Each structure stands twice: as structure tokens, then as C-alpha cells.
Amino acid sequence: MLKFWLVCALAVVSRAEIAEEEDVLVLKKTNFEEALGSHPDILVEFYAPWCGHCKALAPEYAKAAGILKAEGSKIRLGKVDATEETELAQEFNVRGYPTIKFFKDGKKESPKEYSAGRQAEDIVTWLKKRTGPAVATLAGVTETESLIADNEVSVIGFFKDTDSKDAETYKKAAEAFDDIPFAMTSDDDVYSKFEVSKDSIILFKKFDEGRNTFDGEVTKENLMAFVKSNQLPLVIEFTDQTAPKIFGGDIKSHILMFLPKGSSDFQDKIDQFKKAAEGFRGKILFIFIDSDIDDNQRILEFFGLKKEECPAIRLITLEDEMTKYKPESDSITAEAITNFCTLFTEGKLKPHLMSQDIPEDWEKGPVKVLVGKNFEEVAFDPTKNVFVEFYAPWCGHCKQLAPTWEQLGEKYKDHPDIIVAKMDSTVNEIEEVKVHSFPTLKFFPAGNERKVIDFNGERVLDSFTKFLESGGKEGGAPAGDEDDDDTDAEDLDDLEDGQDDDFDDDRHDEL
């Protein structure tokens, strides 16, 4: 009996050792399973102390934890310093920061990836929908007003018969959204308060026109399209908090306005931008980026822009590959922006490819310098075998590679048909070559076939030499063996943080 009580006492002490910081549980390898046992529904952030995105998330994450705790919810939030708790990071396949996973019913296996925004209300809403019914039932005016007041966006179905066919369809549509609260009511007082005379579905929001009423055939697809088209502002500012909503949505065409928030004509430019946006709701996202913010300078660089060149407009598509478009006019008026977007939707625009001017001494060094304007004639010269490094000046891995690449250039500088070259891909773009990470190494063998061979082998002089001497057949490793840790860079969220969110030294730097 004494032994039994000692075990129980030790268990109590152990549970007490799960520390909290601002209502967030501090989790480690030693207390992780115990936390799952004590708190069956727990959201866990795997972070790095130096990560910019993690620092930006921290106050919102703590605020969400406090909201749930104050409500008496059983849902808890926890955090793991993945740079210290490396075993946990590896166990849960943490490959970047922050990584956020939801553990439901105390189960450690197959946690759900968090997929909503990074503001407190987004986190709370997502968790409540994951642990409760997809559609809440509102009893009266007070509950309805609270739901609308507490959320940036909410959707309410007004149904006299909550078991009707349309109501059931509404419930199915609600299940598709993790980050927006859905509710329904049949209360006459609520109908009267919100001036609803018949069964309706209304999206309430704290921006633009304030509310949108669904109009059309009630199908799951139509309801989902209605919510997706109206849940974001006509013009949304790009920040850490809004990035997941921007890039997690179904709209993959984005028009970006780079504009200093402190400029005297800021409001006029925003008004013109918003006016143009009205005609493209659901087709193109209109995004404003403050060009004065230091963290946004990498984004400007990505588009070949400088602060002094702003305001400026660019349009991108985020399908399989990112494609950029630039308006012919620098005018920022509703008419000019509308015309630009109309040409895009009609398929009448050509992609905008950046290029520097050709340096006068581009071929004097052992490593030839390529830009957009001379790439075609050099890389696809049918008499030459051309090995190109696509790099970024700020990329740490590129800086590490530079001495070896110079040695390779020196080795082949007098070779009659081998050229070693490099291209700064932050200011030069090629239609035939999509660069997703730095450094990217590609080989363009001699001949008229315009072949492009990826080099994915070890980045050392011997491997490069073997690769070149074999005509790209040996030493480069087949594309299928490329390191799984290489990361795509298809969205601006990766660019916003000047510090890489990656933590594996073998990774390429993100674009």
C-alpha cells in the first residue's frame, strides 16, 4: 500500500512539473506524453527562439491560450523549443519553423497540421471547430451578437426548419472551413434584429461592406465559393498574420501594390486599389505591401524593386510555378489597375522576366557571368557544354559554394567546349528555368536538343569534375535522389523573414 501511494505521489509531482508561460504549456521530451494524458486536446507549436515568424506568432499564440483557459475550455496550447528538443522535432517530422500540430483525444499518432491564420481568434476558432460541431446553434440575440462581435468573420444560417434540406447542405459546407465559425438560428427575435425576412445565409465581417447575403442555389460548392469570395478584405495587407490566409486560399492570382504606408497619398492609392478590386472579387487577391518595412525588403528584391521605385504594381500567379506580370504603365489609378487585371484574366499578358544589363567583363573571369539578356545565346549554344549556378547574393549556401565554383571555373577556363557560369537569380529570370531554391545547379549539354540536366550530387570539386567529364551522366545523382530537405519557395511568406526558417544545414536557402 505504501508503495502504491508513493507511485501516486510521484505522478502528482510529475504532473506539476509541466511549466506554463503566459498560459502556454512548456513541453519537453520528458513531459510530452504526460501532457497528452492530462490534456487530450492540445495544440503544440514547435519553434526556434531565433525564428522571426515564431516571434511574431508568440503574443497571438499566448492570447489564444488565455482565451481558452478563461472560458474553462479543456483545449490547451503548448510549445516545444525544437532546437533543444531535437528528438521530439524529429519524431513529428518538424522541417521548418513554426510547425504547429494538433493532438486530439490524447493520441500521439498522426497529429493534424494546423492550417488557419496566426491571430488569436483564428487559432481559437480552428480549435473549437476541430473539437465541437461544425455549426453552433444560437439561442437568441445576445448569443448572435456575441458571435459576430468576437470574430473578424462569421457565417450564420437563418433557418426556420433547422433540419431542412438547405440547412443540412449548409452544415456540410461548414465542415470544409476550419478558421471561420458557422452558426444557425431559427429564433424570431434574431430574424427581426438582423432584418432577415426569410431563410438566408449571411456572412458577417468587420471590414468592407460588413455583411454579404448568399444568393443562389444552395449547394455545398456554391456556399463554399460564396464564403471564400467574401472572407477576405477587398485589399489585404501582407503580414505574418495574414500570410497563411493569402497563400492557403484557393485564389492563386495575386496583384501586389508596393507602397510606403507613411506616404502623403497613401489613402488615395489604397482607395484606387480597392475600387479596382471590386470587379475581381473571387478571381484575384489584391494585396498591399508596406515598402518601408525592413522585413519586406527581401520581397521587393525578389521583384527587382527598390524602395525609391515604389509605389509599384506587380501581379503573380501561384500555380505549379510562380509567374510574374508587370503593367506597362506606372499609373496607380482604378482605371489603369482594372485594365491591367482585365488583360491578365483574358490571357493577353506576357510574363515579366527580370534581367540586368550584360556586364562588359562578363566573360573575362574563369566563371562567366550570365544575365537574362545573354543567357539564351550562352547556355543554349549548341557547341558548348554549360554548367550554371543560379544563386542569390544573400544565400549562405551560395557563399559556401563560391570558392569551389571558382576553382571549377579555373579548371575549365581554357577548355574549348566547357563553360562554367553563374547567374544572380534574384535579378535575372529565364522562362525555361524555374529556380526554387539556392543554389540551383543545372547543366546545358552541347547539341540542338536544348536539354537541361539537374545536378543534385555532392557540391565538391571532384563531383563537379566527374559530372562535367561524363557529359552530365555521372556524379550528379538522378533527380529522384534529390535531398528531401530541399524546400520550395513558391510564396512570399518564405521571403518575408530575412532569416531562414530552415534549420538543417544541408538545406538550400529559400528563394
Catalytic residues: 51, 54, 395, 398
If you write DSSP's letter for every residue of 17-74 in order, what string do you get? T--EETTEEE--TTTHHHHHHH-SSEEEEEE-TT-HHHHHHHHHHHHHHHHHHHTT-S
d(CA 368, CA 358): 11
d(CA 245, CA 178): 12
Measured from the Cβ of residue 286, the count of other Cβ atoms closer than 10 Å reads 23
Lookup result for grid cell 442555389? 217
Instruction: Report the SS3 class of residue 136.
Output: strand
Lookup result for grid cell 477587398? 234
CA dihedral 56, 77, 7, 5 (to 10 degrees): 130
Which residue type does 483 have? D
Helix, strand, coil distribution of the chain in percent, nearest 5 = 35, 20, 45
Grid coordinates representing 409?
Answer: 571555373
**Which residues have C-beta within 8 Å of that of residue 358, sequence separation ≥ 6?**
371, 373, 374
Please answer whether residues 287 and 235 qualify as being in contact, where contact means their C-beta atoms are separated by less than 8 angstroms.
yes
Which residue type does 339 have? N
| Residue 503: closest CA among 165, 180, 81 | 81
Grid coordinates representing 465?
Answer: 569534375
Instruction: Report the SS3 class of residue 419.
Output: strand
